[in-house]
Amino acid sequence: MVGLYQSKDQSLLASKVVVDVLKKQTSDEDAVITFTDKEQSLLNYLSANPKITLPQFCKLVNISRRRAIGILVNLISVGVIRAHQTEQPEFYTLS
């Protein structure tokens, strides 16, 4: 799925992950975050490597694309990781 979002005076293409993040962002309330094993695996991978793609993450923790997107959306929403759409395929880094 690809959507459009507005950035200043431009309409830009957004991946499913970015569209879901934009939908989920509602407030900047402080919260205590506990990471699952799969989230922790991703964070450990990103501590040792500069970036990861969605297919790499799926393979790393052996989960479906849909589940991986949900995890990425959650981590982006709380500011732990960042999505980069400047290259194809989209990739993710630590914030």
pLDDT in tens, 24-64: 665 555 556 788 999 999 999 999 999 999 999 999 999 99
Per-residue pLDDT tens digits for 67-89: 999 999 889 988 899 999 887 88
**Does 94 map to a domain?**
yes
Tell me how far the alpha carbon of residue 58 is from its chain's centroid.
12
Domain, as residue range, for 76? 32-95
**Does 66 map to a domain?**
yes
**Does 93 map to a domain?**
yes
**Does 36 map to a domain?**
yes
CB 58 within 8 A of CB 68: yes
**Does 6 map to a domain?**
no
CATH number at residue 90: 1.10.10.10
Beta pairing partners, 7: 10
Element (H, E) at 43: helix 37-48
**Does 18 map to a domain?**
no
**Does 10 map to a domain?**
no
- pLDDT attached to residue 69: 92
Split into its structural domains, the chain has a count of 1
